[in-house]
Chain A
């Protein structure tokens, strides 16, 4: 029964989020009425950012005030000591949060320390000059990642258990995931890293693949989380690839980095070449993971922008022809995004494996 109840709750939440999204478009800001296009633009950029609460939908009530329906999340700040309070105190940037003896205000998705009335000072390029305390809040993105982490843990431990219970044969949902695990092992890890060392990297490759894939898919749900389209997340993932690559680098890997020509040339001939070559090689070890983080970020970000813009178009056209057309387009893009979600996870894993392969290579010495 609890699972049925859970399913029902989840379904209602999804449904609510699906049907409530348009409401939000009209009910953004009551003080300064904006045209629809700016509103949609703001809505999209707001959606792409992380949020301090898990908002399901919002509407404007009869008094013209915003009512937000969602789950408040804890805000954790380090500001001369740990400051924790519920995100409801921030009131979506409309009011100043009073915590202890400090005042905080949400401005453009960031929490700033302010005075009692919430004054935000700006410099000439319109950047807030207030102090931004170290922010370790459990945001929407963190909740999504935790959700996916629990899902993955539950999914794959249960898959592991079916092997023991079922005599080495997967059962249930494991039948779907086992071929993917095997694909990553046989077609990504083995050919790129090599038969001898691939096992060492399998944990990371499998975890990163499913983590990215599931988060990508979660981004396509009406919950509208954009975790893999966040630069901090992709940076974290790529940083791990970078660290693993360089910490498991063999002697040959470093030799290739700092002595790429080897013994094929005399040392005095190599010097002028190496003045150019070695900086390029060293730059390369940073560029490789950097390309990983930018690629994933840009792809997911772009997908969300396109999809939300197309949905927004429906409200701009408001015609019998235009709205169904943009709906059709949005639907088609959704299908493509479904593919992109898998593809980006695959590419991230594949390239990570490739870089690990460079690090793990061992030449035969003659």
Chain B
């Protein structure tokens, strides 16, 4: 112990304290401060990057599931649309058929009516023509029959006889 005390150099202690405290302040300002803050910054940025990567991953997953869902929905919608289109087509065909039938029927009746009318008109005309021809023939026959007096009297007699004026 005595040796230690006699060995103790106040000068060395003084300079050691000066140098060390000076170094402490200088390094705090120019080295440890910037180093520790840089390291801290780096660490927080790494942490942030990891967290954001994780967030991106979960977002990606949710997006994927969303996509799946949307795809499913789209498929279902497509099927529904197709079904609807099918039924619409059938409906359309049916109504078209019915309408066509009705139209055809209508036209048919109209045609039949027209034919009937024409027929009637033709019959009438025929009748008139036959009448006039008969009249003509009758006229000519009568003329021929009644060319002489005898025949006239004879006819009148016959007619009287036929008419049963007895």
The complex places the Cα of A181 from the Cα of B27 at a distance, in Å, of 13
With an 8 A cutoff between CB atoms, is A137 at the interface?
yes
How many residues from A make CB contacts under 8 Å with B?
A: 47
Chain B residues within an 8 Å CB radius of A185:
36, 39
Chain B residues within an 8 Å CB radius of A146:
19
Contact of A232 among B8, B39, B41 (CB under 8 A): B8
Chain A 78-106 per-residue mask, 1 if CB under 8 angstroms from chain B, else 0: 00000000000000000000000000000
- Return B6 CB to nearest CB of chain A, in Å: 8
Contact, CB under 8 Å: B13 / A207: no
The complex places the Cα of A227 from the Cα of B14 at a distance, in Å, of 14
Task: Count A-B pairs with CB separation below 8 Å.
Answer: 126
Contact, CB under 8 Å: A136 / B11: yes
Contact of A168 among B19, B22, B45 (CB under 8 A): B45
With an 8 A cutoff between CB atoms, is B9 at the interface?
yes
How many residues from B make CB contacts under 8 Å with A?
A: 34
Chain B residues within an 8 Å CB radius of A232:
7-10, 12-13, 16
With an 8 A cutoff between CB atoms, is A237 at the interface?
yes
The SS class assigned to the B binding surface is helix
Contact, CB under 8 Å: B12 / A153: no
With an 8 A cutoff between CB atoms, is A258 at the interface?
no
Contact, CB under 8 Å: B30 / A231: no
Residue of A with least CB distance to B35: A160
The complex places the Cα of A206 from the Cα of B35 at a distance, in Å, of 11
- Return B80 CB to nearest CB of chain A, in Å: 56
Residues of A within 8 A of B (CB): 49-50, 76, 127, 134-139, 141-142, 145-146, 149, 152-153, 156-157, 159-161, 163-164, 168-169, 178, 181-182, 185, 199, 202-204, 206-208, 211, 230-233, 235-237, 239-240
